[in-house]
A = this chain, B = another copy of it.
Amino acid sequence: MSGRRAFLGSAGGLVAAAGLSRVARASASTSFFGEHQAGIVSPQPTQTYFAALDVITKRPGDIVRMFRAWTDAASRLTSGDEAPGDSGETLGIETSGLTLTFGLGAGLFDGRYGLAAHRPEALMDLPGFHGDQLVPERSGGDLSIQACADDPQVVFHAVRQLVRLADGVARVRWAQTGFLPDTPKDATPRNLMGFKDGTRNALDHARLVWVGDEGPSWMRGGSYLVVRKIRMALEHWDVTDVDFQEETIGRSKRSGAPLGKEREHDPPDFESMDADGNPVIAENAHLRMAAPETNSGVQILRRGYSYNDGANFTAERWPPWRQGIEYDAGLLFMAYQRDPRTGFIPLFENMAKLDALNQFTTHVGSGLFACPGGIAPGQFLAQGLFDAT
């Protein structure tokens, strides 16, 4: 029983892993410092771990201390160094492009910590959308941390170190792994429905992604992240005729071209009609519903991942005739925008009602996070917010 006594003696504290001097080698490290946080417009690695946390401390000063510790640890981890008390599972492997991106949820501004007057107007409560089947335990959160890299061990490791450093101040509310296929450079990755996903993405970052002078100082150069966990009814999709899949999406499955066009990046023609007088791209096709042309120019920067949680018993909203064990897999939708009130919200309100793709998807998790602007060495994350209080 000596082992158990020794464990009990050390379990309460945070003990440095003496002698573990260097963790993952930084073959392709991304600086944690800069005008913007990394992981928003930077190249997208193939693996992610996203965690939403609840703040549990009663002392506002703990939050500042946590952000200082997170800034220090994130700077070390993205450089390929160990975090204080590192758990060691990335010793000897590459950081493979690790980025860490932090966000603040509306709950942080609920009055517990004297921040209520500083809540940005854009950090609203997302409205309920048509068809939402959100699981409260998989939604919301006072804080978000997203790690992206090309190795699933590296992304989990990074978040684990940060969660440990937040012990007693914040704890994980929900977490989700995600991945992309290892697609040739410059090709658009295919999602789990087999279609290229992300062909038309926001390119004008200054106008569409980064917060400008309209926001509080600590949000300038930052962005708003909308997260939606979207389950796909893959069992049903997989026995659906490809012609109907293409009609649903509005694109060719193989080439990714808009229906009626030849190449993936050809602009869609929403006016063209077929010989029977029906639109070539259906009125409720996903491509049309999401297009800036039909949404007064609204555009968001999608940076999502597929997720795969195995199989689970869940009730699908549609179709109702086959409930039971289903693939628990789909899209960890993540979108950045300058303001959700002119980004995701108006775009999705319409899509939630009419998009043909809704027949195969269910939104089961949701979150909105204000991701502060980047910082310089010597500053800490979201410092402008806390300096203002």
Spell out A's residues near B (CB within 8 Å): 2-4, 6-7, 10-15, 17-20, 49, 51, 85, 87-94, 96, 137, 150-154, 156, 160, 164, 167, 171-177, 179-184, 187, 190-195, 234, 236-244, 247-248, 253-254, 282, 284, 306, 308-311, 313, 319, 325, 327, 329, 356, 359
A139 CB to nearest B CB, Å: 13
Say which residue of B14, B236, B284 sits within 8 Å of A11 (CB atoms): B236
**In chain B, what residue has the closest Cβ to A309?**
B309
A151 to B179, CA, bound (A): 9
Check if B181 sits within 8 Å of A93, measured CB to CB. Answer: yes
A311 to B241, CA, bound (A): 36
Q: A240-B11, A282-B3 are in contact. Are A308 and B89 (CB under 8 A)?
A: no
Q: How far is the CB of A127 from chain B (nearest CB, A)?
A: 26
Chain B residues in 8 Å Cβ range of A236: 11
With A306-B153, A308-B152, A356-B3 as given contacts, are A87 and B237 in contact (CB-CB < 8 Å)?
A: yes
Q: How far is the CB of A122 from chain B (nearest CB, A)?
A: 28
* A90, closest chain B residue (CB): B181
CB-contact partner of A254 in B88, B191, B243, under 8 A:
B88
Contact in complex: A182, B325 (CB < 8 Å): no
Q: B10, B137, B190: which contacts A240 (Cβ < 8 A)?
A: B10
CB contacts (< 8 Å) of A49 on chain B: these are 308
Q: A93-B190, A96-B182 are in contact. List 19 more A-B contacts (CB 8 A).
A: A3-B247, A3-B359, A6-B241, A11-B236, A11-B240, A13-B239, A18-B242, A49-B308, A87-B193, A87-B194, A88-B195, A88-B254, A92-B187, A93-B184, A151-B182, A160-B238, A171-B325, A174-B310, A175-B327
- Pick the residue among B176, B192, B238, B310 that contacts A177 (CB under 8 A): B310
In the bound complex, residues from chain B placing their C-beta under 8 Å from that of A96 are 182
CB <8 Å contact, A89 and B190: yes
Contact (Cβ within 8 A) A190 B3: no
Q: Which 6 A-B pairs have the closest CB atoms?
A: A88-B194, A153-B181, A175-B310, A89-B194, A10-B241, A175-B311
Which residues of chain B are within 8 angstroms of A175 by Cβ–Cβ distance?
Answer: 310-311, 327
A192–B89 touching, CB < 8 Å: yes
A191 CB contacts on chain B under 8 angstroms: 89
Distance, CA A172 to CA B238, complexed state (A): 14
Contact A154 B174 (CB under 8 A): no
* Distance, CA A160 to CA B308, complexed state (A): 12
Do A160 and B311 have beta carbons less than 8 Å apart?
A: no
State whether A310 touches B176 (Cβ < 8 A).
Answer: yes
A355 smallest CB distance to B (angstroms): 10
Which residues of B lie under 8 Å from residue A13 when comparing CB positions? 239
Evaluate contact between B181 and A151: CB separation under 8 angstroms.
yes
Q: Closest CB-CB distance, A239 to chain B, in whole Å?
A: 6
Closest-CB distance, A157 to chain B (whole angstroms): 9
Closest chain-B Cβ to A62's Cβ sits at a distance in Å of 17
- Expressed in whole angstroms, the Cα–Cα distance for A167 and B254 within the complex equals 25
Q: A194 and B91: CB pair below 8 A?
A: yes
The answer to whether A156 and B192 have CB atoms under 8 Å apart is yes
CB-based contact B359/A244 at 8 Å: no
15 contacting pairs across A/B (C-beta < 8 A): A3-B244, A11-B236, A15-B240, A17-B242, A17-B253, A85-B238, A87-B237, A88-B253, A90-B181, A93-B190, A153-B180, A160-B238, A160-B327, A173-B311, A173-B325
B contact residues around A19 at 8 Å (CB): 242, 254
Cβ-defined contact, A156 with B329, below 8 A:
yes
| Residues on the B chain within 8 Å of A91, using CB | 190, 194, 254
